[in-house]
Amino acid sequence: MRKEHKPFLIKKLQRYINNVYVERIVRPQFDSLGICPFFLRPQSLQITGKNISAGHHLHIISEKHQPVKMFAWSSKQEQGHIRIGDHCLISPGVNIASAINIEIGHNCMIAADVNISDSDWHGLYNRTRPFKCSAPIVIHDNVWIGLRAIIGKGVTIGENSVIAAGSVVIQDIEANCVAGGNPAKVIKKLNPRRRMLKRDVLFDNVTQDPQAYLNNQIELDKYLLHNNTFFNWIRSKISPGQND
């Protein structure tokens, strides 16, 4: 569709149902989850295991055919941990799997189909279980990981760095740079003295008044959808035209 024909009341009802689902079904699956999470299609989100936590304003876009998956392995030898900071964005198809520890800092953006795993999941000689084949991952604040990148075990990615689409990261990436390739290497330096806008500017006043943020979202929907009618919405579903 070229336009959004959904009436405001339908959008408001869907937003309410979505928020209820997140608070009653999704939130208990986290050890902790900060204020004002926004999950698009949370029914498709797959969370497995304990010791999974996230900060304020976590934004997850999950899809039926591209679900976001978070998995923390648990065994007698190892226990996975996944910790995500404030103001992070996770896109469709992202897979985060931990056998010991994955730390993701504040203001990080993870593009679609990224795979982050701190384990090979099978030893070279003992292939019946994870055995001495895991190492923690640390992704520092304000890191942007591009489409379909792979982050391997034992990697640290420095603050503000960008991982190019399709990269395979198997060694540390320093702060304030752009890295890409297979294996990923630094291809450009960023100026650490230059002012950088981060995702937290989108939520400057939300922590003090979360309800005001939700009210602002409702008012925005009302403004954008106020001309939409039930008739046009149903018509666009049954028989869409070029102007739809």
Which contiguous run of DSSP H or E holds residue 139?
A: strand 137-139
Token pair for 242: 């070029």
Amino acid at 22: V
Q: Cα 33 from chain centroid?
A: 13
Work out the number of other CB atoms within 10 angstroms of the CB of residue 96. Answer: 25
d(CA 168, CA 83): 22
Catalytic member of 81, 122, 140, 226: 122
Supply the angle between the helices 8-21 and 210-225 in degrees, to the nearest 10.
150
For 215-221, which contacts have Cβ atoms below 8 Å and span 24 or more sequence positions? 217/15, 218/12, 218/15, 221/8, 221/11, 221/12, 221/15
Active site residue 106: no
- Catalytic residues, by residue number, are 122
